[in-house]
Amino acid sequence: MTPEITKVDTLVVGAGQAGIAMSEHLTRLDIPHLVLEKQGIAQAWRTGRWDSLVANGPAWHDRFPGQTFADTGPDGFVPKERVADYFAEYAQRFNAPVR
């Protein structure tokens, strides 16, 4: 559960790739912040791409530090739904304060 923050100096708009990465850095630096997302984490990957899309780089490359793709080998190309799941799992890992 995201702690109830009513006043914050650092606001991240959007919980896509960029917003989640930013939140991870802010969390590591112990900087209180909120991430505001109008749809859902990595929603653009779920509904803003054609169904057959896979990441255009291999899994070893197209990932965040410290987390591999569970069901795709390093040389595989991850389907878009799994990319979205991955970002959501990553956000959960450090309890990203997404609203």
Ligand X SMILES: Cc1cc2nc3c(=O)[nH]c(=O)nc-3n(C[C@H](O)[C@H](O)[C@H](O)COP(=O)(O)OP(=O)(O)OC[C@H]3O[C@@H](n4cnc5c(N)ncnc54)[C@H](O)[C@@H]3O)c2cc1C
Query: Which stretches of the chain bind ligand X, using CB under 6 A?
Result: 13-19, 36-39, 43-44, 49, 53, 55-57, 62
Bridge-based pairing state of the strands 34-36 and 11-13:
parallel
Distance CA 11, CA 9 (A): 7
Name the residue nearer to ligand X (CB basis): 31 or 36: 36
By three-state DSSP, how is residue 38 classified?
Answer: coil
Name the residue nearer to ligand X (CB basis): 6 or 52: 52
CA atoms within 13 A on the CB side of 55: 22
Name the residue nearer to ligand X (CB basis): 16 or 97: 16
Q: Which residue is nearest to ligand X (CB)?
A: 16
Shortest distance in whole angstroms from residue 50 CB to ligand X? 8
Shortest distance in whole angstroms from residue 72 CB to ligand X? 12
Distance CA 36, CA 38 (A): 7
